[in-house]
Each structure stands twice: as C-alpha cells, then as structure tokens.
C-alpha cells in the first residue's frame, strides 16, 4: 500500500508544481511587475523571482496532495463520504482561507487561482474516498452498518 501512495503522491505534487508554474506564475509575476510606469521601473532581483517561483511551486504542490490525504484519512477511518458531503460548506470556506494565506501576492486573482483548484480537488477527494476509502467509519465495529444522514435524523426525532 505504501508504493501506490508514494507514486501517486509524487505525481500529484509534480502536477501541482507544474500547474503553479505554467498557469499561476505568469499572472502573479505580471502583477508584481505591473506597477511600472514612466516614473517607476520595476527591476526584480533574481532572488525575488526564484523566491516567488519556489513559494508557488511548493504551495501548489502541497495543495494538489489533498486527494491523497483524504484517501489516507478515509483508510484510517477518520473521514467518509457522508462526512465530506455534510461539511462541504466549511470546506469551501477553509479552502479560500488557505488560498488567501498561501498565495504570495495579495491580489484576488491569484487567490482565486488557488481557491478554485482547491474546490475541484476537494470534489476529486470525495470521489476518491468513495472508491478507495474504508466502508466503515471510526468508532463502528467491523461488519456493523454505517448509519446514513436520513437514519440519524430519524433517530433524533
């Protein structure tokens, strides 16, 4: 089980870094040098360029690990599909907070360029947990059926 997780984790990280470099980095760098006019010339140093590129590569590489993390948590029995579906509104809020913190530039466009992939990755995570996660949730005995949301609502009434 370690080999598939390692392989898929590497693929997810590299695809996230590639997405960050080829899709997000050009507008982020354009935003930073966009303050140039006839009186002010932007001359970014090579270290600033590499710092921005490295921060974007690492940030996007890490956020693209979300499906792997969710499947791992599902295999441990910490989350399941019903839990992820029930808490989707909180996940959307947390995703955009993470995007606001991790983006190195303070503009809304770059935050959206991280927030929207986070939402898509969350939905991919729900599908991956459905197919690869444990069928029982933490706290239930093996073979005991897991209660659905409607069954829980009926018991509460």
Ranges of each domain in the chain: 2-139
Rounded to whole angstroms, how far apart are CA atoms 23 and 91?
A: 24
**CA torsion angle for 5, 125, 92, 146 (degrees, to 10)?**
-110
Q: Please, what are the averages of pLDDT over each run of 10 residues along the chain (157 residues)?
A: 88 94 85 75 79 88 92 88 92 91 78 91 93 64 52 56
């Amino acid at each position: 089980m370690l080999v598939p997780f390692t392989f898929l984790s590497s693929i997810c990280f590299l695809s996230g870094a590639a997405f960050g470099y080829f899709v997000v980095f050009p507008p982020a760098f354009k935003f930073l040098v966009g303050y140039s006019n006839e009186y002010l010339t932007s001359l970014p140093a090579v270290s600033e360029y590499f710092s921005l590129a490295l921060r974007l590569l690492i940030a996007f590489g890490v956020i693209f690990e979300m499906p792997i993390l969710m499947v791992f948590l599902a295999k441990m029995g910490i989350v399941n599909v019903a839990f992820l579906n029930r808490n989707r509104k909180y996940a959307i809020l947390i995703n955009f907070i993470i995007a606001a913190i991790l983006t190195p530039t303070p503009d809304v466009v770059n935050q959206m360029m991280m927030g929207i992939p986070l939402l898509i990755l969350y939905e991919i995570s729900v599908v991956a947990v459905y197919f690869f996660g444990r069928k029982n949730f933490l706290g239930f005995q093996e073979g005991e059926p897991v209660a659905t949301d409607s069954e829980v609502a009926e018991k509460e009434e």
